[in-house]
A and B are shown apart, each in its own frame.
Chain A
Amino acid sequence: MSFRRRHLLGLEGMSRDEVLDILATARSFRQVLDRPIKRVPALQGVTACNAFFEPSTRTRLSFELAEKRLSADTINFASGGSSVSKGETLRDTVRNIEAMRVDVVVIRHGASGAPHFLARNIDGHVINAGDGFHEHPTQALLDLYTIQEELGRLEGLKVTIVGDIAHSRVARSNLWGLQAVGAEVTLVGPTTLLPAEIEKAGVRVKSRLEEALDGADVVNVLRLQLERMRGGFLPSLREYAATWGITRERLALCSPNVRVMHPGPINRGVEISDEVADSRESLVLDQVTNGVAVRMAVLYLVRGGRGNGAERIPAQEGSGA
């Protein structure tokens, strides 16, 4: 086993073996989800806190379900909060988490680096469930898992990520994770939404959709935040849909065996057409199911779990450090 991290803060710098290790562990947990009794005792006695400082439905539910499937005790903390009060809230949360002797904290926060701040300040394990525009590692891992299940491999695949790259933590985690396992990544979107010098991360960057879709094995479509119109990044939603929307016609440019992914929630008719979202190429719902298994694997591994946690009750686990 290669994954020996105490926290999962991001996929930047993660090795191929570490990524494959997580995916292999996820595969054994994925089988648990098809059993009549969908529960293993791997994290019995462990307390997990889901601290969500940004609204989230599916990621929070997915983590909560993963924790319950592993027999962990879970508590939830949700807070909106303006950007000014964020610092205050996070600091207080740190103190509370320490006082409650929580073992694992799953954090979603609007500020990039908030999970790193937490990891520096608490004894427990920290899992990043999305921080600012930085990373969303479990989303990328479930994307990788889903691609591997569908297409049987990751190495050498052409993956095109479409849309608002600049503000996307999903894009960043995906580009690290995909490149670690030998996939070829192309980013495409309006030039105002392509962040500075991203090509230095080893990816191909295109500003024309047709070029970027040519021969793609997977198209990962990002959600367009509607407030980008107000920020002056885009002239109109109509123009975005017409230029960047993934339609059946455009899919024809890709590999014949192409698959389409989306981290959700979908703006139908904007970044992706209805027809494509519900097509047989769409993996959107598989992503959701696989997300639970991947998060089970991550929770299990950061706690120091080794071997097949789905099949046996692990021997007395230490602190996992």
Chain B
Amino acid sequence: MSAPAEFPERVVIRGVRVVDPDSGIDEIRDLLIDRGVLEAMEPSLPPGVDGVDLSATGKIAAPGLQDMRVHLREPGDEEAETIQSGARAAARGGVTRLLAMPDTCPVADNRGVIEQILRSAAEACGTRIVPAGALTKGREGAALAEMMELRAAGVCAVTDADRAVVSSDLMRRAMEYARGADLLVISHCEDPALRGAGVMNEGYWSTILGMRGIPTEAETTMLARDIALSRRTGCRLHIGHVSCAQAVSLIRQAKAEGLPVSAETAPHYLALTEQEMRSYDALFKVNPPLRTEADRRALKEGLRDGTIDVVASDHAPHPTERKAVEVDAAPFGAIGLETALSVCIEELIVQQVLDWPGLIHAMSSRVAGILGWGGGRMEIGAPADLLLIDPDAVWEVQPDRFSSRSRNSPFLGRTLTGRVLLTIAEGRVTHMETALLG
């Protein structure tokens, strides 16, 4: 568990593999951290440097992870998660900054709610919380949110979270207005009519299990529309939680055309398929749904060739009693802050889809670039913002070990590889495994 107080004031982390895609560094270095500031990052620091010596052979140091899709549930559903508990879960997962979705209650569609979230975030554990604003008032898809006000309050991206703006006309206006406000629009691509009452991917398994299916076209028809509107409006568009092969193709095409489009997927789409639903366990009910093996492969190919820029956790907490019901009655969503990196190590590094710089780029520096955040890199003389990973540590996902208030992980009981030993967010230790100091 984390115990920030025990971390030494001045520490030399020796022999660690530094992966910093922004500067192109991927080599063994010694790091000197003094009162939270990254003072030096040299191939070899002399033994005489004053400070606690930490041998980190075989470990990896990288810029703090940036997670651009997190539902924190506060205000409104603190039983599921709070800003505090979400921030702690982020820290355990190596995340130093996250984009909080605006689907709170009240909705983060105005300055007041944004400021309230920022105030609570300041008291949280040190993970930086950046709230996204709603794209439309109340996320109702009927009128534009006050985007200029939102931007003045510190918002850099607008989205209706897990709801699409159904009216194409309003979406067009929203994207035009957002471009003028220099805000990134994050789209949840889903035609609600095509989704209907669906609970899982439509195909052989939904047929066999007798579950209402969600066709991939629920995702791709809306995606094609939003790409077309990005072409029309010139608005920067980010496609949230991409789940299927056809969507990857559409995004690849849009990028080849030079449109300002970026895209993200989530670890569960890389690791799991619709077949998990054979258990009739609502832990696997996510939106968009888990798809087929072919989709899973296409997402990895998309990450490999850069079509998909980012992996975000899509952390969506729900209390156990809401998920421990039959699938039809359960809400969509899975937590992921504390497992995202480990799942990605397994699916992307071990399976040789990406190398370490590629993975850190997709989970840190690229995210910072898309959102216009500084950071996502190892900067000498600045407050340290980094994590230390043991890439070989093996651990079991246990329900009672989460920092999140919720336990709705689709990876419960699984053995994962790779563990975060230390997280420092802007100079502050937010998570440390006791084993780190020996």
Contact = CB atoms under 8 A, between A and B. Distances in A.
27 contacts: A12-B208, A84-B329, A86-B328, A87-B325, A87-B330, A88-B329, A90-B325, A91-B325, A110-B328, A111-B326, A111-B327, A111-B329, A112-B209, A112-B328, A113-B209, A113-B326, A114-B326, A117-B280, A132-B328, A133-B210, A133-B212, A134-B209, A134-B210, A172-B208, A172-B210, A196-B207, A196-B213
> Max chain A CB contacts within 10 Å: which of B203, B204, B211, B280?
B280
A116 B203 contact: no
Interface in B192-224: 202-204, 206-213
Nearest to A201: B208
B324 interface: yes
B13 to A, nearest CB: 46
Nearest to A176: B208
A83 B204 contact: no
A134 B212 CA distance: 10
Contacts of B330: 87
A112 B329 contact: no
Contacts of A113: 209, 211, 280, 326-327
Interface in B351-381: none
Contacts of B204: 196-198, 200-201
Interface string A191-228: 00001111011000000000000000000000000000
Contacts of A88: 325, 329
A112 B212 CA distance: 9
Query: Top 4 closest A-B pairs, CB basis?
Result: A134-B210, A113-B280, A87-B329, A87-B325
Nearest to A231: B196
A172 B211 CA distance: 12
A226 to B, nearest CB: 18
Interface string A125-154: 000000111110000000000000000000
Contacts of B203: 196-197
Interface residues of A, number: 30
Interface residues of B, number: 21
Interface in B71-121: none
Interface of B: 202-204, 206-213, 279-280, 321, 324-330
Interface string A287-298: 000000000000
A110 B329 CA distance: 11
Contacts of A30: none
A91 B320 CA distance: 12
A113 B330 CA distance: 12
Contacts of A60: none
A109 interface: yes
A133 B198 CA distance: 13
Contact of A112 (B202, B210, B279): B210
B203 to A, nearest CB: 5
Contact of B328 (A111, A169, A196, A200): A111
A34 B212 CA distance: 43
B325 A117 contact: yes
A90 B330 CA distance: 12
Interface in A70-100: 83-84, 86-88, 90-91
Contacts of B280: 112-113, 116-117
A153 to B, nearest CB: 27
Contact of A132 (B208, B210, B213, B325): B210
B211 A132 contact: yes
Contacts of A197: 203-204, 207
A83 B328 contact: yes
Contact of B324 (A91, A132, A196): A91
Contacts of B279: 116
A136 to B, nearest CB: 10
Nearest to B280: A113
> Max chain B CB contacts within 10 Å: which of A86, A91, A112, A131?
A112
Nearest to A194: B207
A111 B204 CA distance: 18
B379 to A, nearest CB: 49
Contacts of A86: 325-326, 328-329
> Max chain B CB contacts within 10 Å: which of A91, A135, A196?
A196
Nearest to A85: B329
A135 B209 CA distance: 8
B326 A87 contact: yes
A271 B224 CA distance: 41
B2 to A, nearest CB: 34
A8 to B, nearest CB: 15
Contacts of A172: 208, 210
Given A90-B326, A113-B211, A169-B210, 10 more contacts: A87-B328, A112-B280, A116-B280, A117-B280, A134-B209, A135-B210, A166-B207, A196-B213, A198-B207, A201-B204
> Max chain A CB contacts within 10 Å: which of B204, B207, B213?
B207
B326 A196 contact: no
Nearest to A172: B210
> Max chain A CB contacts within 10 Å: which of B204, B206, B328?
B328
Nearest to B197: A83
